[in-house]
Amino acid sequence: MRTLWYAGLLLLTGMVLFSCQSGDLRVGQSVISPQELFVQSVDTLTLKTSTVMRPDSFLTSGDANIVVGRWSDAQTGKMTARAFAAINYASNSFQGQTNQRLDSLVLELTYAYVYGDTTSAFNISLHTLDKPLVYQAYYNTNSVSYSSKPYLQKTVLPQPLTLTRKISFRLPADVEQTFFNKLVNGDIVDATTLAEYFPGFALNCNSTSNAFAGFATASSGLRLYYHATDVDLAQSNLLFPMSLGYFTQITNDLSGTPLSVLKNRSDAVSSRLTNNTTFIVPSALLHTRLEIPYLDQFAKPDGYADINKATLVISPIRTTTKDNSNPPGYLALFFTNTQNDILPTAVPGGAGGTSSAIAQYNPQTTFVQNGPDTGALPLVDSYSFDLTYYIGQIIKRKLANQPLLLSIPTETQLQTSLTLRERLQRVTIGDQLKANDQMKVQLFITSGN
């Protein structure tokens, strides 16, 4: 899977060696004649990786969407997303009207996105809440009671790019008529009186496929279809949206997996115990711990001048762009401790150490004889962290060699709130001993003859 990548690296190394031998490099010129400089590449530094779990909670009622679905695999266990939503009142002029007639009442779930498998059946069931939803802040760990018996249920292919872009549930005829009558009679006039008839809904996924469906609360809810009884019989509709109170509960079950031993903040599962891989699943609170144990004992080659470049390359285990688990757009490095906390001091990135160590996911197009094909051949993809300053300072004994935590960037770094979609994304990372998709530190060292 990495053939093209390695070939590119060898070519790059050759180009750098050639340019350095011609005297182009400025690194080390103050102590060594430029004509005597050359570059050595080193990628054999020992890396120690493991998966850790940091217990935490995050706000889900502040997201624009609710999420329903599940994900299960032998390594990271089972994750379930369940949504809860109240129906908001919509201003109308039905009260006292005699020239409007009911057509239907439909509960609509409008797709915001689907993450995962869009080719397998997705069964979603709606359950009535036992009592009206209290309007407050809700987190991924919260839940409210609801009827175990499905009120409505449907199986679909979760494809948001279809023409309808929504899942619709027709309500029973007697429920439709009663709701309409209550609007006309003035029994439902605000969110409180609406909640007395419809306390709200819980949404469950009952499928075995790995998929999460996000639904936009502003455009999901109860849609009332009606028509006028005058001459033109004008048809209209009104949406009572899920925009007043809602949240998503996310549960994780690690039982039966190698990660089930993660009970305390200090626990870690070596990548050697999980098929030479580690995991980052923010909504499951899983992160990758990285240590470079012998970096501060680095043996400098003869004539060592300086670090020309230091890059941490992380290769996701992903076969094609059609894989159903898209990696996060960005990953970040954090200093950590024995409790796997994220420490406040940022890991310095770049040549000068003036930026945070953040890397963007980079999927490269692969080629076949007839042209580019991003779906048929293995991907050449990676996250590359420029750690030139940081590693250089450790080698110079000016910075301590600390353990690192690899995860998605924080909201402070992004200067925006993390969405549920970003938290649901996941990535599996190969360690240094993985046959393909290896993690490695690449050092380019300027030396003299």
Residue % of the chain over a pLDDT of 70 = 86
Q: Which residue has the tokens 């990535």?
A: 427
Greater pLDDT, 38 or 381 = 381
Average pLDDT of the segment spanning 381-393: 94
Question: What is the per-residue pLDDT for 136?
Answer: 94
Question: What is the per-residue pLDDT for 231?
Answer: 65
What is the pLDDT confidence band of residue 3, given thresholds at 50, 70 and 90?
very low
Least confident range from 57-61, 95-99, 276-280, 302-306: namely 302-306
Question: What is the per-residue pLDDT for 41?
Answer: 78
C-alpha–C-alpha distance, residues 179 and 227, integer Å: 16
Question: What is the per-residue pLDDT for 23?
Answer: 32
Question: What is the per-residue pLDDT for 4?
Answer: 34
Question: What is the per-residue pLDDT for 319?
Answer: 67
Average per-residue pLDDT in the chain?
86
Is the pLDDT at 368 greater than 50, yes or no?
no
C-alpha–C-alpha distance, residues 331 and 27, integer Å: 29
C-alpha–C-alpha distance, residues 275 and 428, integer Å: 11
Average pLDDT of the segment spanning 386-398: 94
Pairing of strands 65-73, 221-228: unpaired
Least confident range from 25-39, 85-99, 342-356: namely 25-39
Is the pLDDT at 54 greater than 80, yes or no?
yes
Centre a 10 Å sphere on the Cβ of residue 68 and count the other Cβ atoms it contains: 26
pLDDT digits (tens, 9 = 90+) for 244-260: 899 999 999 999 999 99
Average pLDDT of the segment spanning 16-31: 38
pLDDT digits (tens, 9 = 90+) for 297-320: 887 777 777 888 999 999 898 766
Question: What is the per-residue pLDDT for 374?
Answer: 45
